């Protein structure tokens, strides 16, 4: 397989053509933002997994000019950080893997502004992405030069510490890109104006870094197309690539989008696999140095085709190796069905970052907790009964069985999956299907005794005589007390997605959370129905939904021309539609079918009934608190991990 052939970037020889994409590692550093044990274990697991190179997430080179993000990401702005960086380099090298350190010159207008004592900066005065009420100030030329010096100094320290290459974070609307783009750079000095001027900052960083690191490879990550009005388009992107090459970069790492089009940068579940490949291909056609491409390339066949067809020289995997660090080893060994697939939910990796929580992964609770949550063989052969075959129950059963416990899983339905089944039903949510397949396969491999069509009752559970019972019974639909909710033209979202009943041409969806919005988009975009989406609150999709997902669903709703009615309360459901109220005025909205996406409640019936009848019982997932796949899998994992 060409993907596993030895390759070369500048002076760096690599064991294959697989890279880990740079990903910001919030929450994993030492208290002083150094590369501590957790971060080293996090990267070592990926190096052990068979990658040719691990690219770190952005590391800070200067904390004086810009604050905020500097308190979350690793720092390499002082010799005090070099010792631990050298430990990281050794840990990665021990697995025949190369370490590429990404350095940032700053975040500029996309930096955190809340609780940041240092006012934000940029190429010019720009509106801040995270708080449009705040405007950046333009950097002075002295400050620009200070940033260049800091950057090169950090690169020099990295080289001494044993890093193999530097990645320049010149993409996605971060500060270097803010300088390069006419949209955010309106300076009239030598750092603005035409492309020469706008690229001066990047070129000075490149030149100073080259002087500091000698022939050590420098990779430049850049964005040939911002995919927003007024942003960069491919023509300029190609020209930037030519100039970077001429200036001596050793590889071009291609990205897409910017914060305003974040679902292009970090493609959501709704984007197709390989969503950035078109741009990668365009750059590859003109490049003479190696080209690195990424963006939902976790499907091994797709990854292989990227190399075989010459679309890129390197496949870069971000979230796929958060989900499964062993991706390369498994592909190489032909064990594709054992790869834990990233579902592009962005909940634990991106979403948690914005909640100031440590970097994690929905499908892999070990990510960022490699040693802390290490799973050990059980010390006894306890009998474990898991009730419920949704993601929570399946995770608990597999992990318990892998630990050597004697595990039985009862699922009342005819198939495994629980609410993963309706979750995966929309045509644009196919990323969940491989997860379901992986989980089913995992149960088989681990030797879990699965009994389908088996309804757990309190008597049956007690009679089974398990040492530990794990209840993963999920949630149940709880319709609000609206007159007409029992009519036969009314469906719950899960029922609707699972059964796909025949409806007329106009469907009303009540509840514009993520689930309701997805149902509306599926009906409108895939089925071509006329859809009205009604929401009592003031906006579509709840606050707290991660930004790429939010952008993705909003564009699907726009694409499907869904008629969105916010601040609208449903008063009654009839055979002809609904009666709703907005601003105190009543209105009849016609519709052939009504889908209720108004929420589920935890189903704790079984727990309440058996808790006092069995020795050791724990409830997990939606049966405790209705959440997402993340909560179900993580709680299932821990319920099994802690069994003594
Ligand atoms: C339409 C829809 C779309 C969704 N989309 C997403 C998404 O995109 N991303 C995301 O993160 N989350 C999504 N969710 C939420 C997610 O699917 C749930 O949070 C998750 O499935 C909960 O897992 P669980 O194992 O706790 O429960 P469930 O998945 O509900 O599984 C519970 C299982 O227990 C079984 N069971 C119940 N009682 C018994 C009994 N007495 N005996 C035997 N078996 C029993 C049930 O049949 C069921 O199979 C979605 C939910 C819905 C409804
Ligand atoms: C949690 C997270 C943090 C990221 N941080 C960085 C970063 O620090 N530097 C960078 O160049 N890209 C960063 N990215 C973007 C990734 O490198 C990659 O371009 C993107 O995730 C798409 O690739 P994937 O589909 O393989 O994940 C980040 C992505 C994620 C998910
Ligand atoms: S949290 Fe979701 S998107 Fe992020 S790596 Fe894990 S599965 Fe993929």
Catalytic residue among 174, 191, 259, 270: 174
Name the stretches of the chain with pLDDT < 50: none
| Residue 203 and residue 346 in one domain | yes
Q: Are the beta carbons of 586 and 438 closer than 8 angstroms?
A: no
Looking at residue 294, its pLDDT comes to: 96
Looking at residue 1, its pLDDT comes to: 87
For residue 58, being part of any structural domain is answered with yes
Looking at residue 116, its pLDDT comes to: 82
**What span, in angstroms and rounded, lies between the C-alpha atoms of 304 and 2?**
8
Q: What ligand has the least distance to the C-alpha of 303?
A: 2
Looking at residue 33, its pLDDT comes to: 92
| Residue 335 and residue 455 in one domain | no
| Residue 582 and residue 609 in one domain | no
| Residue 519 and residue 420 in one domain | no
DSSP code for 338:
G
Residue 352 in contact with ligand 2 by CB distance below 6 A: no
CATH number at residue 15: 3.20.20.70
| Residue 306 and residue 420 in one domain | no
DSSP characters for 122-174?
Answer: ESSS-B-SS-TT-BPEEPPHHHHHHHHHHHHHHHHHHHHHT--EEEEEE-TTS
Residue 610 in contact with ligand 3 by CB distance below 6 A: no
Location of structure tokens 């959501």 = 268
Q: Is the dihedral of CA 76, 80, 83, 87 positive or negative?
A: negative
In this structure, which residue's CA is closest to atom 6 in ligand 3?
A: 361
Q: Please count the structural domains in the chain.
A: 3
Q: Is the dihedral of CA 173, 151, 67, 185 positive or negative?
A: negative
| Residue 68 and residue 201 in one domain | yes
Question: Could you tell me how many residues make up the chain?
Answer: 644
Q: What ligand has the least distance to the C-alpha of 636?
A: 1
| Residue 341 and residue 467 in one domain | no
Which atom of ligand 2 is closest in space to residue 169's alpha carbon? 11
Strand ranges inside 543-583, DSSP E = 563-565, 569-574, 577-582
**What span, in angstroms and rounded, lies between the C-alpha atoms of 35 and 446?**
35
| Residue 110 and residue 253 in one domain | yes
In this structure, which residue's CA is closest to atom 6 in ligand 1?
A: 423
Location of structure tokens 């000019």 = 65
The count of other CB atoms within 10 Å of the CB of residue 609 is 14
Looking at residue 103, its pLDDT comes to: 98
Is 174 among the catalytic positions? yes
Location of structure tokens 């970069």 = 249
CATH number at residue 439: 3.40.50.720
Expressed in angstroms and rounded, the spacing between residue 389 Cα and the centre of ligand 3 is 21
DSSP characters for 240-294?
Answer: HHHHHHHTT-SEEEE----GGGHHHHS--TTSPTTTTHHHHHHHHHH-SS-EEE-
Which atom of ligand 3 is closest in space to residue 350's alpha carbon? 4
Residue 349 in contact with ligand 2 by CB distance below 6 A: yes
Residue 633 in contact with ligand 3 by CB distance below 6 A: no
Q: What ligand has the least distance to the C-alpha of 634?
A: 1
Which atom of ligand 3 is closest in space to residue 322's alpha carbon? 5
Looking at residue 296, its pLDDT comes to: 97
For residue 181, being part of any structural domain is answered with yes
For residue 433, being part of any structural domain is answered with yes
Expressed in angstroms and rounded, the spacing between residue 341 Cα and the centre of ligand 3 is 9
For residue 338, being part of any structural domain is answered with yes
For residue 371, being part of any structural domain is answered with no
For residue 483, being part of any structural domain is answered with no
The count of other CB atoms within 10 Å of the CB of residue 329 is 15
Sequence-distant contacts of 95-98: CB under 8 A, at least 24 apart? 95/44, 95/47, 95/48, 96/15, 97/15, 97/46, 97/47, 97/51, 97/52, 97/53, 97/54, 98/12, 98/14, 98/52, 98/53, 98/54, 98/164, 98/165
Angle between helix axes 234-246 and 200-213 (nearest 10 degrees) is 30
| Residue 567 and residue 430 in one domain | no
What 3-state DSSP class applies to 177?
helix
For residue 373, being part of any structural domain is answered with no
Residue 343 in contact with ligand 3 by CB distance below 6 A: yes
| Residue 325 and residue 466 in one domain | no
Q: Find the domain containing 619 and state its range.
A: 383-474+601-641
DSSP characters for 436-505?
Answer: HHHHHHHHHHHT-EEEET----HHHHHHHT-SEEEE---EEE-----TTTTSTTEEEHHHHHHH-----S
Expressed in angstroms and rounded, the spacing between residue 266 Cα and the centre of ligand 2 is 6
Q: What ligand has the least distance to the C-alpha of 28?
A: 2
Q: Which of 335, 354, 373 is the last residue of a domain?
A: 354
Looking at residue 503, its pLDDT comes to: 86
| Residue 333 and residue 397 in one domain | no
Expressed in angstroms and rounded, the spacing between residue 420 Cα and the centre of ligand 1 is 6
Residue 24 in contact with ligand 2 by CB distance below 6 A: yes
What 3-state DSSP class applies to 189?
coil
Which atom of ligand 3 is closest in space to residue 318's alpha carbon? 5
Backbone angles phi, psi at 193, to 5 degrees: 90, -125
Which atom of ligand 3 is closest in space to residue 348's alpha carbon? 1
| Residue 633 and residue 573 in one domain | no
For residue 482, being part of any structural domain is answered with no
- pTM of the prediction? 0.97
Q: Are the beta carbons of 178 and 222 closer than 8 angstroms?
A: no
CATH number at residue 559: 3.50.50.60
Expressed in angstroms and rounded, the spacing between residue 112 Cα and the centre of ligand 2 is 17
Q: Are the beta carbons of 398 and 363 closer than 8 angstroms?
A: no
Strand ranges inside 286-332, DSSP E = 291-293, 314-317
**What span, in angstroms and rounded, lies between the C-alpha atoms of 195 and 495?**
55
Q: Which of 333, 354, 375 is the last residue of a domain?
A: 354
């Amino acid at each position: 397989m060409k993907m596993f052939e030895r390759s070369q970037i500048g002076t760096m020889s690599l064991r294959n053509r697989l890279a880990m994409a740079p990903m910001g590692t919030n929450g994993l550093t030492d208290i002083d933002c150094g590369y501590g044990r957790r971060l080293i274990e996090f990267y070592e697991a990926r190096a052990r997994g068979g990658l040719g190179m691990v690219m770190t997430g952005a590391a800070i080179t200067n904390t004086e000019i810009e604050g905020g993000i500097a308190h979350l990401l690793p720092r390499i702005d002082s010799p005090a950080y070099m010792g631990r960086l050298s430990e990281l380099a050794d840990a990665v090298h021990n697995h025949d893997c190369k370490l590429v350190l990404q350095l940032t010159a700053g975040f500029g207008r996309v930096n955190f502004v809340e609780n940041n004592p240092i006012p934000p900066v940029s190429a010019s005065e720009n509106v801040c992405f995270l708080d449009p009420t705040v405007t950046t100030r333009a950097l002075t030329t002295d400050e620009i030069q200070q940033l260049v010096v800091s950057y090169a100094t950090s690169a020099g320290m990295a080289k001494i510490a044993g890093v193999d290459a530097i990645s320049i974070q010149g993409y996605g609307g971060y500060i270097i890109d803010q300088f390069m783009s006419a949209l955010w750079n309106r300076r009239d000095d030598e750092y603005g104006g035409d492309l020469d001027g706008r690229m001066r900052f990047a070129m000075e960083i490149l030149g100073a870094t080259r002087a500091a690191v000698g022939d050590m490879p420098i990779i430049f990550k850049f964005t040939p197309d911002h995919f927003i009005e007024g942003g960069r388009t491919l023509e300029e992107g190609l020209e930037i690539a030519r100039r970077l090459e001429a200036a001596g970069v050793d590889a071009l790492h291609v990205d897409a989008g910017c914060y305003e089009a974040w679902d292009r940068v970090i493609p959501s579940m709704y984007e197709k696999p390989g969503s950035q490949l078109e741009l990668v291909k365009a750059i590859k056609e003109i490049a003479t140095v190696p080209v690195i491409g990424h963006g939902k390339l976790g499907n091994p066949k797709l990854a292989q085709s990227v190399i075989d067809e010459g679309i890129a020289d390197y496949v870069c995997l971000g979230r796929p190796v958060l989900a499964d660090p062993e991706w390369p080893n498994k592909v190489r060994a032909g064990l594709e069905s054992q790869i834990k697939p990233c579902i592009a939910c962005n909940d634990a990796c991106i979403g948690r970052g914005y909640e100031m929580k440590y970097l994690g992964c929905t499908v892999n609770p070990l990510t960022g907790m490699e040693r802390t949550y290490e799973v050990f063989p059980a010390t006894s052969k306890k009998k474990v009964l898991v009730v419920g075959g949704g993601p929570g129950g399946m995770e608990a059963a597999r992990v318990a069985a892998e630990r050597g416990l004697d595990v039985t899983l009862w699922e009342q339905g005819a198939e495994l999956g629980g609410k993963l089944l309706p979750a995966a039903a929309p045509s644009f949510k196919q990323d969940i299907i491989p997860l379901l397949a992986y989980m089913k396969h995992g149960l088989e491999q681990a030797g879990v005794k699965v009994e389908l069509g088996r309804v757990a009752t309190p008597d049956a559970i007690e009679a089974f005589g398990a040492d530990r019972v794990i209840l993963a019974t999920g949630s149940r639909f709880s319709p609000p007390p609206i007159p007409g909710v029992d009519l036969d033209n009314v469906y719950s979202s899960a029922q609707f997605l699972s059964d796909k009943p025949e409806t007329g041409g106009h469907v009303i969806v009540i509840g514009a959370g993520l689930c309701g919005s997805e149902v509306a988009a599926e009906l409108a975009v895939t089925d071509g129905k006329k859809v009205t989406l009604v929401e009592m609150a003031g906006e579509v999709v709840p606050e707290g939904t991660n930004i790429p997902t939010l952008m993705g669903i909003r564009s699907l709703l726009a694409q499907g021309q869904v008629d969105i009615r916010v601040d609208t309360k449903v008063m009654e459901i009839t055979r002809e539609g609904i009666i709703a109220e907005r601003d105190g005025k009543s209105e009849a909205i016609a519709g052939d079918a009504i889908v209720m996406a108004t929420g589920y409640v935890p189903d704790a019936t079984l727990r309440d009934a058996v808790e006092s009848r069995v020795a050791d019982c724990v409830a997990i997932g939606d049966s405790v608190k209705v959440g997402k796949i993340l909560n179900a899998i993580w709680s299932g994992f821990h319920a099994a991990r802690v069994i003594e």
